[in-house]
Structure 1
Amino acid sequence: MTDGARPNADPGSESDPNPVPDALSTDAVATYLHCPRRYEFAHAYDLEGDGDESSIDDRVDLLRTAICDALRRGETDSQALLEAARDRLEALWDDHDERFHSLAQRRHERRVLEATLEAYVEAVGAEHAAGTEALAADAGAGELIGPDLPLSSTISLPERDGDDEGTADTGALPDSVAIDATVDYVYADGSSVVGVRFVPTLAPLGLLRYRSEWEGDIAGQFTDHFDPDADAFEPSFVGALFETAVVLDGLRNRCDRLGLEDRTCRYVQIPLADRSRTAVNWVRETVETSLETMDLTDRYIDHHTYGMTHEHRNRTVDDCLARVVSDLVAGAFDPTDTGRWDEISSEACPDCDYTVCCQDYIAAEVRFDG
């Protein structure tokens, strides 16, 4: 069961209206940004899609577990950290039942994972390991290493004048909703507490990879996404900013519980399956790769909001997140009511697992002449 919805619900059943979720995940909000109907199928009705899991995600999970377990051992020396991560990966790989077309491919994928571990340790591993130890000394008994450390942010919902046409009758809506996110570990960097999440690639970030601050292009593209008269449709980009808002607020809440109220918070993503940075020597059977870490904090922070509140926040992003979540919990799942159906049908539908049961997609695809 996901995001507070009841299992085994019958889509479209009048006797089983969409329940108001107790909590949402950042992944659920991102799904809603791509298409409200996709969210309804995947999260309100908990229908499984063919593409829910992938071999790449499974391999990232192997690396995530190996790195976190190595960090948990408290090794701050690069070589010792790498050996601990390799040993853990070896044990995990022995139990990994992914099907390959040959033993040669399996050996190659193992070398890619080992090269990724080496790249992680070389780029940031020892520094982050020392940071987790330093933070542990200040935080006492608080859990700092995952994988999948839970974070939560409570979003106050704006008042609604009434349900829009096509919005489900869900009764009284809550004043606030919790949004859940995860990071894989937390470490200290000077006066900052940094949350790190491992991801397959940074490709979903879009423009966020190529701009260093909110003001300018990032702010413009974010605003354009919500403008039905603009050509921009960037749900992954917007979802990344929403996720950053939730993670930073969740980190602040965690710092408060650990007695670290004076710390600022930052959010970093590290890709573990970016093959564009991988070089393979098939003759020598060697693999080399490198990692690009991405700090999303400055790309999210609005310095005007910071100047007024002295907090790492962005009023524009936070207000839009609240409006999107308000629509979601109100049951506004009809994508044709968003004013962006053309963009949704061209960008989201082609890779959607639910087109076979989506009346909006079928109605758009099946037309009769005359």
Structure 2
Amino acid sequence: MTDTDSSAASLSVDGLRTALHCPRRHEFAHVHGLEGSDDDAVDDRVALLRTAICDALRSGETDRAGLETVARDRLSALWTDHDEPFHSVAQRRHERRVLEATLSAYLERVGVDHAAGLEALDADAARGELIGPELPLSSTVALPDAAGGSDPPAADAVTIDATVDYVYGDGSSIVGVRFVPTLAPLGRLRYRSDWEGDVADLFTDHFDDERDAFDPDPVGSLFETAVVIDGLRTLRDRLELGDRTCRYVQIPLADRSGTAVNWVRDTVETSLEVVDLTDVYVDHHTYGMTHDHRNETVDSRLATVASSLISGPFDPSDRWDQIEEHACPDCEYTVCCQEYIGQEVRFDG
């Protein structure tokens, strides 16, 4: 089933992110299913840690020593079967130590608290529905009516799929946690704690035809936050977890900026930054009206973008200058992209 199959009317957060970079790339990757390169060692290592951590949380252990024992044993088993090519045994040993240091940093920073939060929710919900990895969530978005003279939308609503790795309780909130390689795609969202101001400006400027702004990654992160928080509300209601508010957190597992290596002692230490995207997404006016963590500006634009992806035709010409500058240089589909080829082979005169 493709993202534009109107009988199902479904999209994914990854598809939305791709479309923000270039709608033609979205067509190739998510409509026609053309595969890009899947040789991503960083993502593979994150997947190892994600699985080890989730298995440790699922074990029911809540103290640091117990969690670390389960997680390290699981990581060791996964690493034995990990077939990533390294140039030497020393490099393979070093990369494993980086993963182990990241695991320790996670447990030190938030792991024990999150395990306790999972235990608190466990009385009200089945643990299997709170821990992934890649626990599926979805948000159903009503699509806007067509503008005058436009074709009607291909569907009345679309389901947008996302994932988190686990959900834990934190006071009056439930929190979805997703492990990511790095926080780089967040841009300035990483350093802000409020929607009003330059975050709102960044978002609106990206869609303003009169401006040259092009920020698909942070805009995509706001879309993802909207989908995840709505998906958490659905999960909350299905598991009858009351009227708790929903929050969304990202934790990077492959960010080397905080990693320190002592080559003499052959040790690795690292630290983790945890980012809660809820406050930077929530519009206080909308929150005051609904008492839910929502943002009318983001949510309405999400519906508009989703509608365009359901109906096509994935034409990038409106923003081609920005797309050519920012998206084409690292695009794996330029060899079959008519717009890119047309630019490359055009003749003067």
TM-score, normalised to structure 2's length? 0.97
Name 2:67's counterpart in structure 1: 81
Distance change in 2, residues 1:185/1:323 (3 Å): same
Q: Counterparts of 1:60 and 1:142 in 2: how far apart (Å)?
A: 21
SS in 1 for 2:137: strand
- Displacement after TM superposition at 1:289 (Å): 0.3
| CA deviations over 1:249-294 (Å, ceiling 9, x no partner) | 0000000001113111000000000011111111221110000000
SS in 1 for 2:138: strand
Q: Counterparts of 2:32 and 2:39 in 1: how far apart (Å)?
A: 18
Q: How much identity, in percent, do the aligned residues show?
A: 71
Q: Counterparts of 1:362 and 1:130 in 2: how far apart (Å)?
A: 55
- Displacement after TM superposition at 1:161 (Å): 3.3
SS in 1 for 2:257: helix
Q: Counterparts of 1:185 and 1:163 in 2: how far apart (Å)?
A: 45
RMSD: 1.5
| 1:282 and 2:299 are equivalent in the alignment | no
| 1:341 and 2:341 are equivalent in the alignment | no
Bigger Cα displacement from structure 2, 292-301 vs 227-236: 227-236
Does structure 2 conserve the Cα–Cα contact (< 8 Å) formed by 1:86 and 1:114?
Answer: yes
| 1:294 and 2:281 are equivalent in the alignment | no
Q: Counterparts of 1:256 and 1:53 in 2: how far apart (Å)?
A: 39
TM-score, normalised to structure 1's length? 0.91
- Displacement after TM superposition at 1:140 (Å): 4.4
Name 1:92's counterpart in structure 2: 78
Determine which of 330, 336, 339 is the counterpart of 1:357. Answer: 336
Name 2:305's counterpart in structure 1: 324
- Displacement after TM superposition at 1:231 (Å): 2.2
Does structure 1 conserve the Cα–Cα contact (< 8 Å) formed by 2:167 and 2:175?
Answer: yes
The amino acid across from 1:106 in the alignment is R
Would you say how many aligned residue pairs link Structure 1 and Structure 2? 349
Distance change in 2, residues 1:225/1:70 (3 Å): same
Name 2:197's counterpart in structure 1: 216
Does structure 1 conserve the Cα–Cα contact (< 8 Å) formed by 2:252 and 2:273?
Answer: yes
Q: Counterparts of 1:152 and 1:261 in 2: how far apart (Å)?
A: 19
Name 1:207's counterpart in structure 2: 188
Name 1:58's counterpart in structure 2: 44
Does structure 1 conserve the Cα–Cα contact (< 8 Å) formed by 2:153 and 2:307?
Answer: no
Name 1:9's counterpart in structure 2: none
SS in 2 for 1:138: coil
Distance change in 2, residues 1:286/1:142 (3 Å): closer
Q: Counterparts of 2:11 and 2:149 in 1: how far apart (Å)?
A: 20
- Displacement after TM superposition at 1:4 (Å): 5.8
Determine which of 93, 102, 106 is the counterpart of 1:116. Answer: 102
Determine which of 12, 18, 31 is the counterpart of 1:31. Answer: 18
Distance change in 2, residues 1:128/1:183 (3 Å): same
The amino acid across from 2:246 in the alignment is C
SS in 2 for 1:193: strand
| CA deviations over 1:307-338 (Å, ceiling 9, x no partner) | 111111000000000000011111131100xx
Determine which of 127, 137, 155 is the counterpart of 2:123. Answer: 137
